[in-house]
Amino acid sequence: MARGSASSHQMEPSQRQLRVAEQIRHLLAEDLMMGHVHDPRLEGTSVTVAEVRISRDLKHATVFTTELGRPLRPETLEALIEQAPRLAGRIARRMHIKFAPRLHFVADETFDEASRMQRLIDADKARLGLALWPVADAIEDEDDGRA
C-alpha cells in the first residue's frame, strides 16, 4: 500500500470514534433537553447538539451547538463551557468509561452559512431579473414530466 493513501486514511475517524461521538451527542442532547444542566443562562433556551467530533485517543470532544431558531448567543456558549466538566462527568458515568472526554463547545455555523448562501443566490436571481426564472421553471417542469 502506498504511504499517501495510508496517511489520508489516518485523517478519517475510526468506527469507534464515530460510535463514541454519536453516543456523546445523544447523551448531551438528552441532558440539555431534560434540563439536567442548572444554569440560569440556559433556562428557556433550546440548545441543539448538531455534531460531536472526538479525538483519536477519545480524550477531547468538540461539540458543535446552536440554539433552536437563532444563532448561538455568547452567554449560552459561555454557560455551556462552564458546565462542560459537569456534563463530561455525567457522560462518563452513563457510558461507563473510566475517563470523561474533555468537552469543547463551539458554535455550529453550518446553518448560518447555508442561510447566507441562499441569500446570495436569491440576490443573484433578483439581479438577473425575474423574467428569466419562469422560463427556467417551465423547463424544469418539462424535465420532471409535469408540463
CB neighbour list of residue 53: distance below 8 Å, 6 or more residues apart: 13, 21, 61, 62, 64
Helix (H) / strand (E) element for 3: namely helix 3-10
List pLDDT tens digits, range 122-142.
777 776 665 555 655 666 666
C-beta atoms surrounding 86 within 10 Å: 15
CATH code, residues 3-108: 3.30.300.20
Parse the chain into domains and list their residue ranges.
3-108, 109-147
- pLDDT digits 0-9 by tens, 70-93: 888 999 999 999 999 999 999 999
Which residue in 23, 96, 16 sits closest to 58, CA to CA? 16
Quote the cell numbers at residue 13.
475517524
pTM attached to this predicted model: 0.69
Rg (Cα) of the chain, in Å, rounded?
22
